[in-house]
Amino acid sequence: MSRKISEESYRKTRSFRLHQWFTGEKDLFLDQVEMKPQEPFTESKKVKKKREKEKQKMLDQIYNLERNRKTGPFQTLYRVVSVLFCICMVSLFLVAVSYLPPLGDAGNPANNEVPQRYIENGLQETGAVNIVTGMILDYRAFDTLGESHVLFIATCAVLILLRLDGNKKKLQEEEASDSAHEPENDVILQTVAKIVVPPIMIFGIYVILGGHLGPGGGFSGGAIIGAGLILYLNAFGFEKTERFFTAKTYKWMCFGALGCYCLAKSYSFFTGANHIESIIPLGTPGAILSSGLILILNICVGIVVAGTMYTFYVMFRKGGF
């Protein structure tokens, strides 16, 4: 049987002190260890100045641009190692290429049943004469949808990085430095632009609309139209282009095109897995109004790409519309 000890004798035992220390009531070593109150860290102004100067000197020495430019050993080592790495890599690649099947052979493993299906049934299923367009806008339409979104997101990122709105002074400075080395109204450029821009635009529209009939499509036609807009902007300045193309226009254009694309393709979530069939008739292959949704999707992609190219240029040039 355990025996109950008195309060005083308990206080002398080790377990009580341990308990006390554990709960933090009293420091166990308070009386035993000698402790001095800490003095605040002080130093004279002179010492402080000297110390900071030394630190700055050391930093300057370590991170000296002129000296770092000349530091030999590490730079040389880095160059040698990277050249060796590249040589090893290219020799490995060449060895791999030497074991690849011969180029241009019809029996290559890449030419399996998938392209066969696309070529043999593509015209009947998609209605597009150009099999590549039929493939990327019908069989693989979701891939292209993601692609258009990549473009839109890239424009947004560039806009975030380069936008100078809300800082009028900086914007004016940027504009002044932008046009500092340019002739005001360049007659040669303006005359050439007047002649060349309309054919470029019409060619771009032709490439977009003829995407399912021949080489071309939304990506290439959009890029051509964007290049034409850039030429027009360079010749005539921002006042002329801002009459019809501002940030708001771009926003609504992209929103409309991407939304149209999404709606045109997302009905397959409700009707089942097959998103090749649509209510729009395929028409006669070779006619301009044929191949169902492909023409609409080509126009959507073309709008997004043209707006993106032009917006990239404007953001780089001016930092905001």
Partner 1 sequence: MDLSNLMHNYPEAVSMILFAIGFSNLLLQKNLIKKIIGLNIMDTAMYLFLALKGYIVGRSAPIVTDGVQSVEAYINPIPAGLVLTGIVVSVSVSALMLSLTIRLYRRFHTLNLDEISTMLKKEGL
Partner 2 sequence: MQIFMYILLGFLVVCAIAVSVSRNLLNAIAIFMSYSLVMSVIWLLLESPDLAITEAAVGAGVTSVLFFITLKKIHAMIEMDDGGKKQEEEKEEGENEPEDQ
* Footprint of partner 2 (CB under 8 A): 65, 69, 130, 132-133, 177-178, 181, 207, 214-217, 219-220, 223-224, 226-227, 230, 309, 312-313, 316-317
In the bound state with partner 1, the residue whose beta carbon lies nearer, of 93 and 255, is: 93
Shortest Cβ distance from residue 98 to partner 2 (Å)? 17
- Of 311, 308, 157, nearest to 222 (Cα)? 308
Interacting residue with partner 1 among 18, 28, 89, 192 (CB under 8 A): 89
Count of all residues that appear for the chain in the document: 321
At residue 191, what is the residue type? Answer: T
What number of other Cβ atoms are within 10 A of residue 260's Cβ?
15
Residue pair 275/189 in contact by the 8 Å Cβ criterion: no
Q: Should residue 58 be labelled a site residue for partner 1 when binding is judged by CB under 8 A?
A: no
Report in angstroms how near the CB of residue 309 gets to partner 1 at its nearest: 8
Contact 28, 20 (CB under 8 A): yes
Q: Cα angle vertex 146, ends 141, 151, to 5°?
A: 125
Note whether 136 binds partner 1 by CB under 8 A: yes
Kindly report the backbone phi and psi dihedral angles of residue 216, in degrees, each rounded to the nearest multiple of 5, phi listed first. 140, -155
Distance separating alpha carbons of residues 284 and 178, to the nearest angstrom? 52
Residues of this chain that interact with partner 1 (CB under 8 A) are: 59-60, 63, 65, 68-69, 79, 82-83, 85-87, 89-90, 93-95, 97-100, 102-106, 108, 110-111, 114-116, 118-120, 122-123, 129-132, 135-136, 140, 143-144, 147, 150-151, 154-155, 157-158, 161-162, 214-215, 217, 219, 223, 285, 305, 308-309, 312, 315-316
